[in-house]
Structure 1
Amino acid sequence: MVSARTAAAPRPAAPHTPTAPDTLTTPKALTTPKPGLRERKKIQTRQAIRRAAYRLFDEHGYEATSIDRIAEAAEVSPSTVVRYFPAKEDIVLTDEYDALLSAGLRARPADEPVVESIRRVAIEVLRGIAAQDRAGLVQRIRLIHEVPAIRGRTAEHAARHTTLISTVLAERTGRPADDLELRVISAAALAALQEALLSWVTKDRRTGPEPLIHQAMDVLTRGLTH
């Protein structure tokens, strides 16, 4: 069984008590270097395409929304849409939060259990998402749940995200990035996060996703109880 600490000795797991905000990853720790003008324009274009696509998906449905229609709504060419998102599914599955997650994990203490680091950084990233972006996150999770074509492409994105997290954890632990235990814990933590968000969107949105993330990470740390 893979240890949730990876680089540190295991310790008995206890039910999670929500941590006070000032002990979570600070906004400074989640700050990435300011991109240059060219990169900012790329980000703005990606966001414009995504906003247009989400609006059209909501109005006409995913299947009925073509790349040409998305391009027209975003005021770009179809080739620009494809350059930024090679498949329509990628509009839903690609975001700008990977850099924040990587920066946050690099800022966590090296001896902190890996699952705990991912828990804290994920919650801090979610807390920093503006209301408009959170609505987009809800729509994104719902589309992943409802559209078979999107679910079918999630495996490719999940593998890329696992590699990203494993690379960051390799820096912390001194292990190679392709270490089996690092990849297992990275993949498991990302899957737990996705399941928590799916549960939030499809079952109970009366509260934020944070309690469900805590629950998912607690299960990952201690294992299934009877």
Structure 2
Amino acid sequence: MTSSQADRPIGLRERKKARTRAAIQDHALRLFIEQGYAETTVEQIAAAAEVSQSTFFRYFPTKEETVLHDRLDPVLIESFLRQPAELSLLGAFRAAIREVFERLDPEESELERARQQLIISIPELRAKLVDEFTTGLAMLNDAVAQRTGRRADDPAVRTWNGAVIGVVVAVFFGAQQDGDPDFVGAMDRALAQLEEGLPL
């Protein structure tokens, strides 16, 4: 991610595509909640979102992708890059997480919790989770490089990002297994522990 890419305003076409993608995903998640993942078809999702099946497949190549797609990742990265320069990297990341999740309205929070639970509970989705974390790691790696003025392939940058993603993975699985509704609080506490040097 270069500075020019990060600062470039999003055009109307891109905003409309993002809204359509979000609408399709929201309808898919609602149907999964109401009638189950396996019982929901692409045809039903497209009908609920009032789009054709061909339009559905332009945004999501498979039904699985409606769950795996994490639209909060780029929002989180943008928030991370906007945080005050005087914050430490972990301080900026913690602030970004709080900002993004606290802005979600109740329905958005419910759908995000459902999305996370589906990933954990559906074997074929859980099997693809590593790929999703790999994508998130690449995004964070570029953002940290930009914020620090270092190269994205700097081993120190990669190590820092690997440690953070490790915490994210641990909290993600822990929150789902424990049924902890305070995902943001759990994440903030875990990142605070990392910032303190992982004391036990």
Q: One fold, TM greater than 0.5? A: yes
Alignment of 1:125 with 2:100, yes or no, is yes
Letter in 2 for 1:65: T
Distance 2:41 2:166 in 1: 30
Please give the secondary structure, in 2, of the residue aligned with 1:65.
Answer: coil
C-alpha RMSD of matched pairs (Å)? 2.4
The answer (yes or no) to whether the contact 2:31–2:45 under 8 Å persists in 1 is yes
Decide which of 117, 124, 136 is 1:161's aligned counterpart. 136
Q: Is the 8 A contact 1:89 1:153 kept in 2?
A: no
Alignment partner of 1:184 out of 159, 163, 186? 159
The superposition leaves residues 136-160 of structure 1 with CA deviations (integer Å, 9 ceiling, x where unpaired) of 1110111111011111222222112
The yes-or-no answer on 1:98 pairing with 2:69 is no
3-state SS of the aligned residue for 1:88? coil
How do 1:19-30 residues align onto structure 2 when only pairs under 5 Å count? none
1:174 aligns with 2:149: yes
Higher normalized helix content (fraction of residues): 2
The 3-state SS of whatever aligns with 2:127 is helix
- Cα 1:82–1:184 change in 2 (3 A) is farther
Q: Which residue of 1 aligns with 2:183?
A: 209
Is 2:11 the counterpart of 1:36?
A: yes
Is the contact between residue 163 and residue 177 of structure 1 (CA under 8 Å) also seen in structure 2?
no
In the other structure, the counterpart of 2:113 is: 138
- Specify whether residues 141 and 105 from structure 1 end up closer, same or farther in structure 2 by C-alpha distance, changes over 3 A only: same
Highest relative contact order (Cα 8 Å, sep 6+), 1 or 2?
A: 1
8 Å CA contact 2:79–2:96 kept in 1: the answer is yes
Deviation at 1:134, TM superposition (A): 0.3
2:193 corresponds in structure 1 to 219
Match of 2:88 among 101, 113, 119: 113
TM-score, normalised relative to structure 1? 0.75
TM-fit CA distance, 1:178: 2.1
User: Contact 1:163/1:183 (CA < 8 Å) preserved in 2?
Assistant: no
Letter in 2 for 1:141: Q
Q: Match for residue 40 of structure 2?
A: 65
- CA separation of 1:192/1:54 partners in 2, compared to 1, >3 Å: closer, same or farther? same
Q: 1:78 Cα deviation (Å)?
A: 1.8
What percentage of aligned pairs have identical amino acids? 32
TM-score with structure 2 setting the length: 0.83
> Alpha carbons of 1:179 and 1:79: their partners in 2 closer, same or farther (altered >3 Å)?
farther
Separation in 2 of the partners of 1:145 and 1:214? 21
Could you tell me which runs of 5 or more consecutive residues in structure 1 were left unpaired when the two chains were aligned: 1-31
* Partner Cα distance (1:190, 1:129) in 2: 22
C-alpha displacement of 1:167: 0.8
Change (3 A) 1:114 1:197: same
Q: Determine if contact 1:115/1:221 at 8 Å carries over to the other structure.
A: yes
Mapped pair 1:74 → 2:61: no
1:197 and 1:212 in contact (8 A); partners too: no
**C-alpha distance in 1, partners of 2:132/2:86?**
28
Equivalent residue number for residue 89 of structure 1: 64
